[in-house]
Amino acid sequence: MKLEKYVDKNVKRRKIVLISLGVVVLISVSFLLYKTFASFTESAEFPIMNGKVDYFGNSDVYFVFYKGDKELEEMPQKDNPEKLEFDYASCDNGASIIWDKEEWAPLVKGLNSVKTKCSLYFKEYDPDIAVNYITELAKIDPTNLAYDGKEILGELGTEDNNLRYIGVNSNNYIDIGDRDINGNPILWRIIGVMNNITNLDNGGQQESLVKIIRSVSIGSYSWDSSAEGINNGYGVNEWSEADLMKLLNPPIYNTIPSIGNSLYWFHTNGNCYNGLNEINTPCDFTSSGISEEAKEKIAKVRWNTGTIGEKYDLNNITSKKIYEGERSIYSGKELCKNTEGNWCNDTVPRTTTWDGYIGLMYPSDYGYAVGGDIRTTCLGKGINEYSNYNCSKNDWLTTNNNSWTITPTPDNYTLCFNGSSASFYNFPCGLANEVWPVAYLKSSIKIKKSKWRSR
């Protein structure tokens, strides 16, 4: 009887000890799990993308890939069996994508510390799309088509690696629907395939687009004119407000000014500026304005309207330097900050980009259009030295008369191509020079058997 009581008490003691140890262990494990979970949740994130849990890992950007509306498990390889090609991309948090076609990789621009999702869209390759057509043509016609990138030209090449028609005999004429009074085609010419163009028709995506220039001038007009009390009547070298921009493009104001506004765009007649101090004369674009058919093919894009810097000498500045200047932060009033009298006394803000349809050629378009065996030699010279090395004789963009460009100079002038000397000069905006409209074709435009049509 005593032994049974002893055993019973001993068993009870062991149970109490075991229960106590269990409680201690449970508390310790719970505390450890809590600290681990708390620590983990402080350092890790579980972003949910497209209804799935996924990780950014060590990167600040997360990619999702699509073919049309269908999500893909991974990014298509460069030589994929479906022949998918990059179409466009969209990112949140203000970021954007530049697609490197050669490296077959996206470059994210504007990425901040916020985790960012980028959606990359791919489409089936269509050889009739204008960009693809010209790109394939370049593989068999290196005489008339060449890239302007660093891989070929080294330090003389651009970052964008555009594909351009070069030489003096380029057969780059196209018909986009313009007709003269007799119904004959008014042809344009292909400058090339320009990369990393901001296409505002496609949500501001960076795309490769075909750039074209009208094959004949529409006449001689002022780039911009002004009253005598403003810049001595010489005009203002801000393209977004220029009289010539208003002549070529759709109206940007609710009230249409009586002089020049959108006459070329609406292929109608009126008066146009063609001299200092707001001198204007009758002009008629009923048979030379852009047609409705052609307008359907033209994209609204972001143009670069920067200049080449505070100090410049066109005899020493290469096409590469001018190309960089066109895309720079320098505006057309860098040297006019301290004004005297009526010169540079305008109050128009200067910008370095413009969103619109029809512009003018860049000086660098002329510079990089040089071809032949001396192309590299010419690109190493100042753009105004081209005539001294026969470069202008190997350049199809050479014109016989004075022709406006879209590029301002930092002292309230604009660069104009002088046909007689095959070089560029600072011209007062109010003077009348020839106008050769330039535009970008929509990315959906196809070419087939030399006939252009929409998708």
Encode the chain (455 residues) as per-residue pLDDT tens digits.
Answer: 333 333 344 545 555 545 555 555 555 545 444 443 433 333 333 343 343 334 445 677 889 999 988 999 999 998 898 889 888 888 888 888 888 877 898 888 888 777 888 999 999 989 999 999 999 999 999 999 999 999 999 999 999 999 999 999 999 999 999 999 999 999 999 999 999 999 999 888 889 999 999 999 999 999 999 999 999 999 999 999 999 999 999 997 655 567 889 999 999 999 999 999 999 999 999 999 999 999 999 999 999 999 987 677 888 999 999 999 999 999 999 888 656 678 889 999 999 999 999 999 999 999 999 999 999 999 999 999 999 999 999 999 998 899 999 999 998 999 999 988 999 999 999 999 999 999 999 999 998 765 544 43
Domain boundary among 106, 124, 142: 124
pTM (2 d.p.): 0.80
DSSP secondary structure code for residue 260 in this structure = S
Q: What is residue 49's predicted lDDT score, i.e. its pLDDT?
A: 38
Same domain, 369 and 395: yes
Q: Say whether both 79 and 201 belong to one domain.
A: no
Q: Are residues 198 and 313 in the same domain?
A: yes
Is residue 182 one of the residues assigned to a domain? yes
231 contacts 276 by C-beta, under 8 angstroms: no
Asked whether residue 12 is domain-assigned, the answer is: no
Report how far residue 328's alpha carbon sits from residue 335's, in angstroms, rounded to the nearest whole number: 15
In this structure, the answer to whether residues 212 and 355 fall within a common structural domain is yes
Domain that holds residue 62: 48-124
Neighbours of 424 (CB within 10 A): 23
Task: Tell me, yes or no, whether 111 and 134 share the same domain.
Answer: no
Three-class DSSP category at 322: helix
Q: CB neighbours of 423 closer than 8 A, spacing ≥ 6?
A: 314, 383, 384, 386, 387, 417
The domain boundary residue, chosen from 103, 124, 145: 124
Q: Are residues 118 and 209 in the same domain?
A: no
- Domain's final residue, options 124, 149, 166: 124
33 inside domain: no
Per the domain annotation, does 2 fall within a domain? Answer: no
The number of folded domains in the chain is 2
- Which pLDDT does position 50 carry in this prediction? 40
Q: Measured between alpha carbons, how far is residue 250 from residues 76, 185, 263 in Å?
A: 40, 23, 9
pLDDT at 205: 83
Query: Is there a single domain that holds both residue 339 and residue 203?
Result: yes
Residue 24, in any domain of the structure: no
Same-domain status, 92 and 154:
no
- E strand or H helix at 404: strand 403-408
